[in-house]
Structure formats: structure tokens, C-alpha cells
Structure 1
């Protein structure tokens, strides 16, 4: 059985975990005997989870990123079947020229299909399309006892629900089938609107979610004042002009690359404020309307390879929460004020509304409400204390934190946020575990120091 020495890493680069072995899987007919491993097991794809849900410190990481074959595609219905290691980028490459698009997508296309299911990812169209799991029709799950189970809403339905958003703990997804979205051409009719207050954001959201499939906003939380924040609201729909289907997309530029880890002092409240000011002002007009390729609209950060190195060797914490609409304004007021007082700047800050399309996933994160996602440099205990206080604001307002992006939530907090965890636990494969799951259910913190 082949093994490799490179240890899996999460996108946030914290914590650092060391697997006992990393086992690559190349073929569906040459799968490892999961029962033969002495340590716990966890599938691993491309490492785009921000926290430790993709890590298994001291255990076995099964690398499924080589399972990248397409199995079937129905051009009439848009139903596609592919192996779990196929990336969303792979799917876009073959589907878009044929007039199909992903049903929903996170902010990066470098995510495996298995990872999209395990984290039940969401995107700019949650209010209209729900999560990725809403579009999955079936998948094959390999359990450690050797069983190969077909899971769907009708067959092994509870295991289907547990696996969607189940963080890779119910077994190894071998292949999956899901529905794509029909499009006329690869272009997006988009609008970008500058706004100068939280109230204006809410007004734009209420208007946009009725007319646009996609909406999201970048926000600057460090301006202070009565408006609390400012930002740019982006919204869009797929263009419907058949003539544009013949218009070739612009040749892709070579991606920018962050070649080194930035020194820790580079990102601070002053540099974040400077970036936010420049990014806000680069759009001179308050309202911009244009038709553009889907790439810059959906995946602006994918144009910068290894952008996570900006945060240096210590890594960073991605923090995303959702609070119900009835507590949205109060929760955002308190959390933004808390962030401003702490001087914990984030230049990758995303604010949007989730809709009421319910996911089949048992542990899925999205639910109706307001969601805010931020990045914070890892400054050790100072950052940990600040985030614990932010946790309390979220909890007090009936919200929850996103497990796929978490690297430090306490077991006590997790069990309050996800009381269904005990129902879910009965579907975990007995040989499967992760650093995340041990931390949030057993309270076993990583022994990795905060400063790497």
C-alpha cells in the first residue's frame, strides 16, 4: 500500500497536524482495506477547509484527490456522476462549454466534490438554491467494514443526511451524482453598488434577493461611526443572450502567486485599513453595471495562488457565523463594535443573507439569517480570547459558527450550537475521526502551540 510523507495542511495553516501516514487512492477498484489501519482514518482532498475538520493528527489521512475521473453525464438533465476527487474547477472546464454550471459554489473552485459534500458548501445563491447538498442525488460510501453503500434520499437515507455536512466522518465517498444548472452562456450580468452603512446593506439585500440569483457583499468594518460599516454589494444573474455563447472567453492570465510567507507584522489594523480604503475607492462610481465572465465574479481570490501565505507562518482564523434574521441587526451591531474595539482588522470580510432553502444535511451550517465571514491573523491567546468573546455574542443571539472554517471552537460551544451532534454521532464510521471532532466532542485541544 503506497504512502507519502507530506502531511495534510488546512488553508488556515493552523493547527499543524502530523498524520501517522498519508495513503493516496488512485483507482476505484484498488481501494485500501480501511479495517487494516490501526489508527483512525479521515479522507483528505485539497485542504481548502480553513480549520482542522480536514486534519487527523496522529491518524491516517486517505488522499482522495487522485480520484478524478468522470463517470457519466446526461446532457438533457444535467445530472453528472464523478469520482470524489474531481474538483469544481474540473467540472466547470467540461460543463460550461456544454451549457451547464455548478448548482452552487463556494468562493474557490479548487474544492473536491467529496469535500463539497462533507462540508455542504454554500455560495452567493444560497437564498435561491440552498447548499450543495440540496442538489446531490446519490453517492457511494465506503465504510471501514468493507460495505459499499449507495446513499440517496430514498436509499440509506439517514446515512445520506449524515454524510452531507458530516465533515468526512461517516465513511469515504467514492463517487457522487448531482444536478447541474442550465446556462445559456458563460457570462454574468452583474452590478456592483457601494454602500455606506449597515442599514443600506439590509436595503440592498432585501431588494436584490428578489431579483438576482447571486448576491454577496464585501465590507469594511474598521471605519467606525454611526453607519458601522461600508462596502461593495455585488449581485448578478446568468446572461441569457444566445449570441454570447459563441463569444470566446478572454485568455486566462497567469495567476499571481504569493511566493513567501509574509512577516507577521505586515498585516495589522493600519495595513488592513489602508487596503480597505483602496479597495472601496477603486470603484469610483457608486453603481457599476457590466457583463463579465463567470470567473472574476465567482472566484476572484483564485487568481492569487497561495494567498493564505499573506498571513505568515502562524496562519489565520477564518470565522463565519450566521444569526437568525430577528437578531441580525443586534448581533451585527455588537460583533462589529467588538471587532472595532479590539482592532482586529479583516480585509477578507463577506456579509450576505442566507435563504430558507433547507439542506438535507444533518449538521449543515446554513440556515435563514445573516452570515458574516472574516479572517483574523493568528496572534495567539490575544486572538483566541477575542474570538471566544465573539462566540458569546453569536450564542446570545441564537446563531451558530461554521464547523468547516473553525479551528478553535470549544466543545461546550459546539454542543450548544449543534445539539443534533448526538443524533449525528451514531452514523460516524467507528474507524473514522478528525482533529476537529475530537476537539469539539471530547474537548481534546491540539498540543500544537498557538505560535508556529
Structure 2
């Protein structure tokens, strides 16, 4: 019997009627009773990858490379290929993902369906901006070849469309050239959000990658700001051995609590910073948590929530300050608190999350009613600021906040495959 399909944070629970594997890109979709939803590697947080009471179509079996133009960096692969598989193939040949999220354990289909973003939105936009084409398999058996110039409306609906327009079976991506696997990384401590905004503005003019870790339990927000670029060609590169750590068990309670957070945050903030710029392997910069297998287990059996918002440029400074002040007052700090800005490039898809402004991503242990009360307060700040929450990292946003944050939702609805649905979509469209 196959293991139950879950999201990465373990919330909410879902009982799927069936789990069916799709192994070949030329196969027809099954026709089970009820609704259908494609499910990649399960790295979404919340219920956008779940279909409670329906069928999930497991796409990891679509894991083959189709073609790679090594001269131009154009890669065609099946939708179940992991981003890490692409890096392993392309990086030794001088190519890298133009946009990558904080984990390499994401399928290409999932990266498109959630239009993932990275630390370089101000120069490269989101993942969908680098998709040249994909094939969309609909439940009626039709196959649509979509791209920015071919069926552009279907392309825009599917990029960021949460897997609701059908099943992506293959995609063609434009990769970016890089000299080697290393980065030049600069780090600086900051105290106060004014310092963050100043550092970020200067760094975005000089570096393609920018991001900050925030200590959101501190009375005055503080953190470490990082900027980076790909290292130029070098005669001698250091040897690299990937760390292999593992969280071997699921504790009965979360190991992340107020005491452990305060201790961790103090140690991390005051850790020695390498002289800038420091030569670092790309894995440690882009995918630090991938170095700990099953790290999500540290939150225990009750799971955890991720809360990621984006606020527009006109309100983001005051809004981010208000959110961090509310979190600090609650004592419910976040182990992973990441603050960065998005550039001015228009979204690639109708429901794309990344848009001009600033985004704050936070993880919280599931404390039941106390967590939900905090999130309701944060929702009010986000709504007043004209912001939005990221569906790929949500397990409880109200329908009103979704519709306000994604005003194209109604036009998008016309492109939904009539056989496809998800727990998330039913929740925000009751």
C-alpha cells in the first residue's frame, strides 16, 4: 500500500480516494470518479497539492530528459523531473537554472504550477518567465502546446495556476550560463528595518541575488543580509563535499519553541561572518535546508504553518514593520524568516504570486488556536496593505483574502479543467 500523500508541512490532513501514477507522457489521463489533481514531489505547504476525497495523479514517474541543446542551454524534460536533476545534468556543462526556489526537490511541473521564485526576482523574474513551452494534457484527452506566443492565455493560466488547468506532461526551459558551481557571497548584519531597506537598495544595484534572514523575536528587527553573484572563472576551485544530515524521527512535540528559537536566533545573528565576498558552493547558498533530509520533522506530529505574504511597494515598509511587531508581541517566532524584495517585472501568470514589492516568509509550529489568532491579525495587516498570501505555502487563508490578492481569479476560472480540483481551490471558492 502506498504512503498517504501529504504536503511538506503536514497540514492539513487529506484522505484521498485514490492515488494513481502517471508513468508515460503519451498516456491518457485516468477517468476515476470525482476530481483529479496532479501531484509532484509534495513540497508545497498546505493544501494546494492535496485533493481531499478525490484522486491524486502522481507525476514523479515522468522523470525523463527529452532533449538538451548544450550550445543554447535549452532543455526539454518531463514534468516529474526534479530541479536538482536539472542542476546535476546541466551545471557540469556550464548551465544553471535562471530561477530556483529554496529547495531543489521540486518537480518542473510543480515549479510551473506554483510559478516559484528565488532570490533574484529583481533581475530574472519568476520561473515562468523562463519557460519556453509545455504540453498540457486535459481530461478530455486534448493536448495543448502552450508558450508565451502559442496559446498565450492558456500559458498564463497554467503558470501559477496551481495545477488546475490540466496536467503538464513536459516542459522546455531556457537555462542560464554560469562559469562554475560556486558563488561569491557577501553578508552583513543589520539592526532595524531602515538598515535592511538601505542595504537592499544598494545590493540590488550591484548583485543578482539578495535576501535577508530576520530575527523576528527581537524587540527591534535584526538580521543578516546576503547578496551574491555567480563566481567568475577561477584557476583553482575548492573541493566541495555536500553535508549529509538527517532528522531521523518525528518527535511527539515541536522542537521549535520560544526558548529554542531565542537561543538559535542569538547564535545565528552573532555567528562569525566570512570576509566579503566569500567563495561558496551554490548548494549552500541556494538550498541550505536541503542539507538536512526530512528537516520538516523537527516541528513534530502536529506539523507547522508557513505564512508568506507580498506587499506592494507603496505599503511594504510600514506593513512589514507591523507584521514583525505583531509576531514579536505574540512570542510565536519563526525559525525560518526570510525577507526579500521583488522587482518590477509583471507576473508571468494570472495567479502568479511574485509581483512588485516585498515578501516575508515565515514558519510557525502548529499551536492550534493561538496560531490561528496570530494569522488572523497578520491577515488584517496584509489586507490593509493591499497584499497577498502565497497559495503554495498556505493552509488556511480566508476566501476573501485570496480573491483580493488575486483579482484575476474569476477570469482564471474559465481555464480550469472541469475534472480537476484541489482542497485549496474548494476552500477559497466555497
How far did residue 32 of structure 1 move? Answer: 4.0
Sort the Cα spacing of 1:236 and 1:265 in 2 relative to 1 into closer, same or farther, 3 A. closer
**Which shows bigger deviation, 9-18 or 411-420?**
411-420
Given the two structures, how large is their TM-score scaled by the length of structure 1?
0.93
Q: Specify the SS of the correspondent of 1:370.
A: strand
The alpha carbon displacement at 1:242 in A equals 4.9
> 1:49 aligns to what?
44
Given the alignment, which residue of 95, 105, 110 partners 2:105? 110
Are residue 368 (structure 1) and residue 360 (structure 2) matched? no
| Runs (4+) off by over 6 Å | none
Aligned to 1:80: 75
Query: Tell me, what secondary structure is at the counterpart of 2:429?
Result: helix
Structure 1 segment 231-310 matched on structure 2, within 5 A: 231-244=223-236, 247=237, 249-253=239-243, 255-264=244-253, 266-283=255-272, 288-310=276-298
SS at match of 2:235: helix
Residue 284 of structure 1 and its aligned partner are, at CA, apart by: 5.4
What is the aligned-residue RMSD (CA, Å)? 1.3
Aligned to 1:150: 145
Q: 1:249: how far off?
A: 4.4
2:36 touches 2:56 (CA, 8 Å); kept in 1? yes
Residue 10 (structure 2) aligns with: 13
**Aligned pairs for 1:408-447 within 5 A:** 408-442=396-430
TM-score between both structures, scaled by the size of structure 2: 0.97
Structure 2 unaligned runs (5+)? Answer: none
Instruction: Give the corresponding residue for 2:29.
Output: 33
The aligned counterpart of 2:371 is: 383
**Within 1, Cα distance between the matches of 2:126 and 2:158?**
14
For residue 401 of structure 1, what is the aligned residue in structure 2? 389
For 2:155, which of 129, 137, 160 is the aligned residue? 160
CA deviations 1:280-331 (Å, max 9, x no partner) are 112257x643111111011110000111111111111100001112212210
Select between 422-431 and 408-417 the one with higher mean Cα deviation.
408-417
Higher deviation after alignment, 261-270 or 160-169: 261-270
Residue in 1 that maps onto 2:310 = 322
Alignment partners' CA distance in 1, 2:426 and 2:110: 19
SS in structure 2 at match of 1:203: helix
Counterparts of 1:295 and 1:249 in 2: how far apart (Å)?
A: 13
Farther-moved stretch of structure 1 (331-340 vs 97-106): 331-340
1:439 Cα deviation from its structure 2 partner: 0.2
Q: Which runs of 5+ in 1 are unaligned?
A: 443-452
2:186 aligned to which of 184, 188, 191: 191
Q: Could you tell me how far apart the structure 1 residues matched to 2:297 and 2:322 are? A: 30
CA displacement at 1:137 relative to structure 2: 0.6
Give the distance between the partners of 1:57 and 1:267, measured in 2 at CA.
28
For the 8 Å contact 1:317–1:375, the answer to whether it is kept is: yes
Q: 1:68: which partner in 2? A: 63
How many residues align? The count is 430
- CA distance in 1 between partners of 2:239 and 2:428 (Å): 45
Secondary structure of 1:104's counterpart equals: coil
Alignment check: 8 A CA contact 1:6 1:22 kept: no
How many angstroms does 1:248 deviate by? 6.8
Distance 1:364 1:33 in 2: 26
- Give yes or no for contact 1:150–1:156 (8 Å, CA) kept in 2: yes
